[in-house]
Amino acid sequence: MTVTRFQDLPLADRDREWDGDAAEKRVRAWADAEDGPTARYRDAHVWYDGDHPDNFTAYKLLIADVVDGRLQAVPHGIMAAAGVVQGARGGVDIPAGDADRVRNHLRRYYEKMHDDAPWED
């Protein structure tokens, strides 16, 4: 199991709405991942199952979207991923040992947004 390397993606505007399904479609097209995941596709996610990297369902916690032709981390996507990690909407099926690394990844984006991660309240 694998937490993706922190990409330090530029942040989209904080008021940009998050539509994960629409972002997924744009990221697939941008990453040339229509037929299967690519490294660029992986960069838009926080976690993936390294045992099944060729399977789209192996990728979890999408936090990015394509804005003006560039991959950008979307604050509301980061917040949605943090909520899922905290158990909102049923949580996410990742190994318990990866949870701290996922939170650290997300925490770096929260710092970039000049905000505290929800688990630090």
In the structure encoding, which two tokens stand for residue 121, read together?
């309240």
Q: What average pLDDT does the chain have?
A: 92
Q: For residue 68, what are the contacts with CB-CB under 8 A and spacing of at least 6? A: none
Structural domain spans, the chain: 2-115
Contact between 18 and 80 under an 8 Å Cβ cutoff? The reply is yes
pLDDT band, residue 1 (cuts 50/70/90): low
The mean pLDDT value for 91-114 works out to 90
Q: What's 10-38 look like in SS3?
A: CECCCCCCCCHHHHHHHHHHHCCCCCCCC
**The whole model's pTM is what?**
0.92
> What pLDDT was estimated at residue 89?
57
Check whether 49 has a pLDDT greater than 80: yes
Check whether 64 has a pLDDT greater than 80: yes
What number of CA atoms fall less than 13 Å from residue 13's CA on the CB side?
5
The mean pLDDT value for 93-100 works out to 85
